[in-house]
Structure formats: C-alpha cells, structure tokens
Amino acid sequence: MSTTEKRIPETQATPVTSDTHEQRSEKSYKSAAHNPNVSHEARINAAEKLAELHEERTGERIDPKYEASIGDAKAEERS
C-alpha cells in the first residue's frame, strides 16, 4: 500500500463469537454500522446500538461516531 492510499480504520469493538442472542445482535449492528450500502443516518443508529450492547457485554466504551465512520470510509473507497 502506498503512502497516498487511505486506510480504512479498524473497529474499536472486540471480536464477538456468535454464541448468544446478545452477541449475534452486537455482530449484526457492527455489520450495519460498517456497511457502505446503508445510509449514514442508519449507520449512526446501528453504531449507537452497537456501542450500547458492547458496553453492556464487556464494560468497555466505544465511540459510535468512529464505528460509523468506518462505513463512510468504505463508501468513499468504493466511489
């Protein structure tokens, strides 16, 4: 990768194994927050729910705007 190429940021959320309903929900919200085909507003909403579930599960806080920005970066990369 050259220095002029933009890099897509990494997620702040720890990886989730999809064993429980709560974990599957968190993984689904993470996918929606990072999906460039989803509207910006929907990515923000999904990222907020992701942050809420992640904090309940792990006690760690993550920034929903940062998580939604990953989807924005992916959308920019595609255009």
Domain ranges of the chain: 21-78
Indicate whether 12 pLDDT > 50.
yes
Is 8 or 61 the better-scoring residue by pLDDT? 61
Q: Is the pLDDT of residue 68 over 50?
A: yes
At 18 the three-state DSSP class reads: coil
The predicted-structure confidence for 31-65, as pLDDT tens digits, reads as follows: 999 999 999 999 999 999 999 999 998 999 999 99
Average pLDDT over residues 13-29: 84
pTM exceeds cut of 0.75: yes
How far, in Å, CA of 50 to CA of 7, rounded?
Answer: 22
